[in-house]
Structure formats: C-alpha cells, structure tokens
Structure 1
C-alpha cells in the first residue's frame, strides 16, 4: 500500500464531496459517475470519494490514491472501478487538477454518430477546439465498456490529448480542468451544450449549418468563463452547504 501524501484540509474534502452532490443536482451524474481532485500537496496522489452514489457523498468518504490507483495508507474501502480514468489523466496531464467522469444522457449520443459536438454558446466555449471521441474497442476489442485498469486509462488519456473534454463511445464522457471548480463547470456545461445542440439540430437538420463558435471565438470566450465558472461554483456550493451544513 502506498503511503499518504499527508493530511488534507477539511474544507478541501468538503469541496470534493460537494462537487459530487453538485454534479448530481445538475443532472450530470445519477447513481453513477465520479469526480476527483489532485492532492494539493503531492502531484502523484489524487483524492476521490469511495464507491457510492454521488448525491450521498460526505467529506469522510474521500479516499487518497496514487497514480496507479492504489488506495493509500491501507484504506480498504471500496473505490470506484473506473478510478483508472482519473489516475491516468493526472499522470498524462500535469496541467489537470480535477477530473469528472459522467454518463450524462444528452452527451452520450455524440459519441455514437458522426455529427461532432460543437460549442453552441459562450458558456461552452471550452468545447470550441474540438471534442475527441474515445472508442475503447480500438485498443481493447470487445469489453464491458468500463475503464477498469491502467492500460484502458492510458488509452483514454491518449484520446483526450490536450483537450478539456472527451466523449466515450457508448459510455459517457470525461471533463477536466486546472481546478475542481473548473472541471465541475465544464462537466455541467458540456451536458447543457449537448441539449442546446440537440435542439439546434432539430431546427437545422444539418450539423454543418450550426453557427457554432469558431476556435478563436472559443479561445476568447473561455477566458472570462474562468470567472463565470467560479461564480457558478459559489452558487452551487452554497446550495450544498445550505442542505448539509458543510
């Protein structure tokens, strides 16, 4: 068992637990899905809840893992089977401070069809550079679709590349960011953007007719959204605090 990188401030543990509940409240996760944060004092460790429904997560449920996804300090609680998504993205992307994996229903269709997900409005500007699709079958053939070991996590991280979001064929998506707040914002607005794009396609009938954001518009619009993401987080975090007291 790897050693812990050290204690984490209670408010950080509370924020990770709140992130799970925020994602559930915003319809991004239900009984499944998870969020993680890189350990604030050690880049080779990350923090994520034990395996339970996100809406039930509390600060005491947060576990520490190394990048091989082994639990630290002999913590024998059950971790999420797909924690390898998080460990391998953290290993491949030093710029990433938090990761969200979800099966949000409006997003899944874009991993099944040739029509690409596009940045349809300014709050989803981070999608403007393109959204890659990870197909687990390309490297691993027929599977249960779960990223359940390091090799599958490596393949997913490779497909993600330097992008903030990747779709997972017939499964869901991952969203990441430099902070927990940004990753949660991106996960929420990836789902919102997917709904907007479904509505726009129903009106247009052709993906090529969408007046989505250009790469440069996305770059420019994503800068103020770092502030917008914090504003949204402050609202969502207060709602959880009002419900739980932490």
Structure 2
C-alpha cells in the first residue's frame, strides 16, 4: 500500500473543488492522480460528489480498478485505471460532463482549438469515443468495466483529451495541475468555438500555432492552479485535508 502524503491529499482535494468551481464538474465526474511516477496504482475518491471530497475519502486503486477499502467506489474507475495502464506518461486524469464540451461529442463538427490557451488540443479534431462500437446500442454509456476502459484509452491514444459520445470527456496530464488546466480550458475552448460557429466559420489554430502556443503556455499551467487553489482554499476546512488512518 502506498503512503498518501499530506501534500498529495491536499492537492487532490483542491483539484476536486477547483473543477467544481470552474464549472467542469458538478455532482458527478471525478479526478485522480497516479500515486508516483511509473506506479501501477492511483488515488481516487470513494463514490462521492466532487465538492464533498476530503482527504479521508481518497482510496488507492490498482489498474484493475480494485481497492482494499470496503467503501463504495465510482462505477467508472476503469476510465482512470485503463488510461494509466496504457499511458505511463499520465500522472492525472479528469473525467467530466462539462456542458460546452458534450455537444461536440454528438455532431460532426470536431472540437478544435480556437483559443491560444487551448493549444494543447493540437492541430486536428479531438478524438471521440463511440461506445456502441464496443458495447452495442443498448448501453448506459458508462465505462463500467476494464474492456470498456481499455477501448476508451485506445481512442484517447496519445491525445491530451478525448470526447465520449453523449457522455462527456477525459483530460489527462503529466501532473495534476496540468490535467486540471486542460480540463478547464477544454471547456472554455468548447464554449468559445460554439459561440464562433454561431457567428460564422471559425479560423482555428493551425497545427504550428497550436504547438507554439502550447510550448509557450503549458509550462505556466501552475500559475492558473495557484490562482484557482487560492479561490477554493477558504472553502476547505483544515480537517478535510488530513489523510485518514493508513494513508500516512
């Protein structure tokens, strides 16, 4: 069992609160963090609304989605497990149903970067996971098994974001701060793109512009994290940040 440090716990609790405050998560969705670089385990809350997550709710999961804790787990923990299995570079995963993103999962208009802050999206449309290709046309659209999680991870490939038709999206990063930044600005970009499409045909960032913008801005994602963290800090009682028994 891996030790959850006070810093790790505080950051993951803050990530949940930040994503709620930024309109990416609501009563549903979740964010996880790999326990350490190269580890085959990750921290994810028990089944709980993100805004209610405390450090004592964080459970260590393996890549089969198992945990030793008897408390109820998220049905879609397999999203996280299978992405970590396929992507050793990923240190954090956000799964959300953010409202501006979902429409792009059900139309042929691909989600593409229109904002320089979303250069990480790259120079082509973000991939869309079609669950009916794996689960047939009578599923509940949820990722509730390892095979479904593996199929989603395959669609994600080496992309930072993938959409899930009629469901939501996943955003990943090389750090918790980067994954949160990407989830927030994926939602911001989707809103801006939809607004632009209502006005006319957007001029999207070229592949070169997206790469250059990402190279310039991605290293400063921590600036956004610091601001967002300060905004939610007053809402988190000190007791909510302390790891529970057996975590530290």
Q: Choose from 85, 88, 91 the match for 2:82.
A: 88
Per the alignment, residue 27 of structure 2 pairs with 31
Tell me, in whole angstroms, the C-alpha distance in 1 between the residues paired with 2:37 and 2:59. 15
Secondary structure of 1:184 counterpart: helix
Whether the 8 Å contact between 2:156 and 2:162 is mirrored in structure 1 is yes
Cα offsets for 1:51-105 (capped at 9, x unmatched): 111011111111100000100xx21111110000000000000111100000011
Tell me, in whole angstroms, the C-alpha distance in 2 between the residues paired with 1:47 and 1:32. 17
**Aligned ranges for residues 192-211 of structure 1 at < 5 Å?**
192-204=188-200, 209-211=201-203
Tell me, in whole angstroms, the C-alpha distance in 2 between the residues paired with 1:213 and 1:13. 37
Cα offsets for 1:80-136 (capped at 9, x unmatched): 100000000000001111000000111001010001111011111111233000010
Tell me, in whole angstroms, the C-alpha distance in 2 between the residues paired with 1:169 and 1:11. 35
2:226 is equivalent to residue 231 of structure 1:
no
- TM superposition outliers: structure 1 runs of 4+ over 6 Å: none
Tell me, in whole angstroms, the C-alpha distance in 1 between the residues paired with 2:183 and 2:234. 22
Q: How many residues align?
A: 236
Per the alignment, residue 246 of structure 2 pairs with none
Secondary structure of 1:87 counterpart: helix
Which shifted more, 161-170 or 126-135? Answer: 126-135
Per the alignment, residue 136 of structure 2 pairs with 141
Q: Aligned Cα RMSD in Å?
A: 1.1
Shift of 1:226: 2.1
Per the alignment, residue 162 of structure 2 pairs with 166
Secondary structure of 1:51 counterpart: coil
Secondary structure of 1:116 counterpart: coil
Cα offsets for 1:207-227 (capped at 9, x unmatched): xx3211111111111122223
Tell me, in whole angstroms, the C-alpha distance in 1 between the residues paired with 2:233 and 2:107. 40
Secondary structure of 1:146 counterpart: coil
Which shifted more, 41-50 or 187-196? Answer: 41-50
Give TM-score scaled by structure 2 length.
Answer: 0.92
Where do 5+ consecutive residues of structure 2 fail to align? 242-248
